[in-house]
Structure 1
Amino acid sequence: MSLSWGQTGTGRPLEAPPGRRVTVQGMSQLDKLRQAMGPAGVDAVWISDPANVRALSGFTSPKDAKVLVTAHAVTLYTDARYTVQAQEDSPLPAFIARPPETYQHAAPSLSGLRVGFEAEHMTVAVLEDLREHWPDAHLIPLRELGRGLRMVKTQQEIEAVRAAQALADRVYAEVRPSIRAGARERDIALDIEMRLRQAGAETAFDIIVASGPRGAMPHGVASDRVILDGELVTIDMGARLGGYHSDMTRTVAVGEPSDEMLRVYRAVLEAEEAAVAAVKPGVRAADLDTLARDILTRHGLGEAFAHSLGHGIGLEVHEGPSLRGVSTDVLEPGMLVTIEPGAYLPGVGGVRIEDLLLVTENGHEVLSRAEKDRL
């Protein structure tokens, strides 16, 4: 039986294990956060976004935890279900309790301080509780705090995503022969999920298997539709391994596609490979989007490209940087990004091809190695 937050025990401090205070990847994120606090106009930050909780603490059940960061201290807050796990996962000193004890424990250190909170991850009810228990603190909403915190990955994070992508590549290669006429979309998706789980991973998101006219839906998750000869099938899949995500899309041909869909496929592949080739430090993310979009426009498919070129990936499937036309992000070494142009023709079909890349000091490394169809 799963225990709820409200069923946990009384509050008590839990010291971090000796020798582990500065040894996990979260410490560099902590330094980044503290550097950002002054410009953000805050003296402390209450972290509630699970991805940011994990990035800062290493704690692997971040949905049931918070982190309080001040100029000179940092504390992980979770409940008694995770007493042992907090010690094993995190280098941070922890306080084991449930609200309102967590708020009461933090209150003395926050008196007179400007305390930032993550506006996108704070309910009105919890905000009212904080105001009640921290009457001497000045609560300040912060937006998109985690974007700068997690955009540039540590080597440990890069290797985690690399492993997730290598697993996804392997599973795709195993399943690829079953993508044929007469197969059901849902059966292909279930096969992918089963193989990922057997390997110790989870699906990073709902697996997309969109065949024939359903390929015109960018998020066409698998249905009961049976694949027909002569159709294109879009497979969008990823693995979640050790908390980190991969993401890759391939569009494959079953039999001989129509001349129109062959034309669309080749245009999307040209746009994808051109954008991949242009990835390097110092490149504006918006310029990559424009590059791919201009190629598709020259092929008469500009209006059919219905989404941004890509996104960052890590503890979340979609995180910074943003690769869209209005993005102000600039690529830096250590960023992990996807390149995924697509073209979607309602009632006819669609194509999307996506690779996962690491931005390196001198250019990029393509982490997704799964074979692409050459039509």
Structure 2
Amino acid sequence: MDVIPAEILRIHSHLTKEIAEMSPTGDGILFKTEEYAGRLAKLKSEMERREMDTLLISEPSNICYLTGYEAYSFYVFQIMIVHRDVSEPIWIGRSMDAVSVRRMTYLSDDSIRPYTDDYVQSSEKDPVDFVVAELKEICPTLKAIGVETGSFYYTARIHNRLLESLPANRFLDAELLINWMRIRKSAAEVAILREAGQISNAIIADAVEAVQAGIRECDLTSVIYRRMIAGTPEYGGVYPSSAPYVLTGSRTGEPHAPWSDRTIDHDTPVNIETSGCRRRYHAPISRTVYLGSPPESYLRLADAVTEGIEAALEAVRPGVTCGEVAQIWGKTIARHGFHKDSRIGYSIGIGFPPTWGERTASLRESDRTMLEPGMAFHMMPGLWLDDIGIVLTQSFVVNEFGREDLTTFPRQLVIK
């Protein structure tokens, strides 16, 4: 078998990246290199302020934010290294995924450092050892190392192994460092969020049309999945960070239970929560459909939620805090005799399983985060009352004048 010369492979890799960058579809590098450069410069400035020379990034959303990399490779060990004095981030991951890094990102070949497959889920070789060796080779200094201690993907085992391997180094908590950078979206990011919102509109419209007495919950969910992936004629969709929630009847009092194969009855509410996803950006949406004639008590519940979300949305504008928005919701539904303990929303943007939330600002009374243009939220003021519930939500971006809604499906109880 002939061996392909290294120079031909290098040229092929370069041409593949050029083609990907020119692609107008959902392929290739998402944003201009200048945008990624600005994000990296801002990160390095914050690292300097914290006296941190090295940062180990494990959260896929943050890796995507810095480079555009969005492949499903995070189920095995994956780390990105950022050093203050190294020009590019360094991706470390499974060897078979390196080709995706080359296609999706601006990273040069020297910044892509894959480990061999015998490290994968091995009892004999630890990929943390590979990372430690790379750190010693790549980093001009290695004094203070930041790690994302709260990331779903940074385990206690990884941390302990790093401490054992680098006992002379200082480790700093960099939890949510990049997440808080991500909270203010650029114009290019908002454009992608709008595309995700159009997919969300199409999903909920299909679900509302399909739901009827006699259909199984799983069959309704399949309608949601089809549109979720097909997207719109303009924008194809991909898998979101969370499975959709389809809950009916007495189970509408449960916010996060899975759908089942039970048949949906007449004279019952159906709660649907889902999201369109475009290049890992999400615009979640939830609606309740009532099949039949709702009792007066349920209509009062729907009226309270509708009035509450409209009042809270009306308060959204730069300079207002997340807590002040939540307080308006709480006071509004209190006039109807209802109370909600949990938050009514959270920051959104890039998302990988298990969540499309950014894990930063929340729309809750105790949160003093001030709204700024470019922040995106899913306002999710659902009410779950033991054996009954209703969901009515709105994803939006804060702008200079107030907000821009990312979805346009009517904010009201659907009676069918």
The TM-score with structure 1 as length reference comes to: 0.87
Given the alignment, which residue of 62, 86, 91 partners 1:77?
A: 91
Q: Provide the secondary structure at the position in 2 that maps to 1:296.
A: helix
Question: 1:57, 1:76 within 8 Å by CA — same for their partners in 2?
Answer: no
CA distance in 2 between counterparts of 1:175 and 1:55 reads: 31
| More moved, 37-46 vs 269-278 | 37-46
Question: 2:199, 2:277 within 8 Å by CA — same for their partners in 1?
Answer: no
Q: Provide the secondary structure at the position in 1 that maps to 2:290.
A: strand
Q: What is the identity, as a one-letter code, of the residue corresponding to 2:254?
A: M
Within the alignment, does 1:34 sit opposite 2:34 as a pair? no
Q: What is the identity, as a one-letter code, of the residue corresponding to 1:311?
A: Y
Q: What is the identity, as a one-letter code, of the residue corresponding to 2:95?
A: A
Structure 1 equivalent of residue 118 of structure 2: none
Structure 1 equivalent of residue 123 of structure 2: none
Structure 2 equivalent of residue 211 of structure 1: 248
Question: 1:311, 1:318 within 8 Å by CA — same for their partners in 2?
Answer: yes
Aligned residue runs from structure 1 range 146-225, under 5 A:
146-199=178-231, 200-225=237-262
Aligned residues: 360
Structure 1 equivalent of residue 365 of structure 2: 325
Structure 1 equivalent of residue 147 of structure 2: 117
Structure 1 equivalent of residue 133 of structure 2: 104
CA distance in 1 between counterparts of 2:385 and 2:162 reads: 50
1:354 offset after TM fit, Å?
Answer: 0.3
| More moved, 162-171 vs 96-105 | 96-105
Question: 1:77, 1:102 within 8 Å by CA — same for their partners in 2?
Answer: no
Aligned residue runs from structure 1 range 9-88, under 5 A:
23=33, 25-61=35-71, 63=74, 65-73=78-86, 74-78=88-92, 79-88=94-103
CA distance in 1 between counterparts of 2:97 and 2:63 reads: 14
Question: 1:164, 1:240 within 8 Å by CA — same for their partners in 2?
Answer: yes
CA distance in 2 between counterparts of 1:344 and 1:254 reads: 18
CA distance in 2 between counterparts of 1:248 and 1:47 reads: 30
1:103 offset after TM fit, Å?
Answer: 2.1
CA distance in 2 between counterparts of 1:220 and 1:306 reads: 19
1:151 offset after TM fit, Å?
Answer: 0.6
Check 1:327–1:187 CA distance in 2 against 1; reply closer, same or farther (3 A cut). Answer: same
- Deviation string, structure 1 residues 184-234 (Cα, Å, up to 9, x no partner): 222111211122223442244221122222111122432233333332221
1:280 offset after TM fit, Å?
Answer: 1.1
Structure 1 equivalent of residue 265 of structure 2: 228
Question: 2:60, 2:70 within 8 Å by CA — same for their partners in 1?
Answer: no
Within the alignment, does 1:354 sit opposite 2:393 as a pair? yes
- Deviation string, structure 1 residues 114-149 (Cα, Å, up to 9, x no partner): 111111133232223323444543222222223312
- Deviation string, structure 1 residues 234-261 (Cα, Å, up to 9, x no partner): 1111122212222101112212100000
Check 1:77–1:136 CA distance in 2 against 1; reply closer, same or farther (3 A cut). Answer: farther
Q: Provide the secondary structure at the position in 2 that maps to 1:248.
A: strand
Q: What is the identity, as a one-letter code, of the residue corresponding to 1:288?
A: V
- Deviation string, structure 1 residues 140-187 (Cα, Å, up to 9, x no partner): 222222331211112222222221221121122123122222222221
CA distance in 2 between counterparts of 1:338 and 1:33 reads: 26
CA distance in 1 between counterparts of 2:317 and 2:411 reads: 22
| More moved, 120-129 vs 42-51 | 120-129
1:345 offset after TM fit, Å?
Answer: 2.1
| More moved, 199-208 vs 282-291 | 199-208
Q: Provide the secondary structure at the position in 1 that maps to 2:255.
A: coil
| More moved, 176-185 vs 282-291 | 176-185
Structure 2 equivalent of residue 5 of structure 1: none
Q: Provide the secondary structure at the position in 2 that maps to 1:313.
A: strand
Given the alignment, which residue of 238, 242, 264 partners 2:279?
A: 242
Given the alignment, which residue of 104, 112, 122 partners 1:95?
A: 112
Structure 2 equivalent of residue 10 of structure 1: none
Within the alignment, does 1:335 sit opposite 2:375 as a pair? yes
Q: What is the identity, as a one-letter code, of the residue corresponding to 1:104?
A: A
CA distance in 2 between counterparts of 1:248 and 1:112 reads: 44
| More moved, 180-189 vs 329-338 | 180-189
CA distance in 2 between counterparts of 1:23 and 1:245 reads: 22
Aligned residue runs from structure 1 range 251-330, under 5 A:
251-302=288-339, 305-316=340-351, 317-319=356-358, 320-330=360-370
| More moved, 125-134 vs 333-342 | 125-134
1:69 offset after TM fit, Å?
Answer: 1.6
CA distance in 2 between counterparts of 1:175 and 1:287 reads: 33
Given the alignment, which residue of 158, 163, 166 partners 1:131?
A: 163
Runs of 5+ consecutive residues of structure 1 not aligned to the other structure: 1-12
Runs of 4+ in structure 1 off by over 4 angstroms are 15-22
Question: 2:203, 2:276 within 8 Å by CA — same for their partners in 1?
Answer: no
Check 1:212–1:125 CA distance in 2 against 1; reply closer, same or farther (3 A cut). Answer: closer
CA distance in 2 between counterparts of 1:345 and 1:181 reads: 23
Check 1:205–1:110 CA distance in 2 against 1; reply closer, same or farther (3 A cut). Answer: same
CA distance in 2 between counterparts of 1:137 and 1:285 reads: 38
Runs of 5+ consecutive residues of structure 2 not aligned to the other structure: 1-9, 22-28, 116-126, 232-236
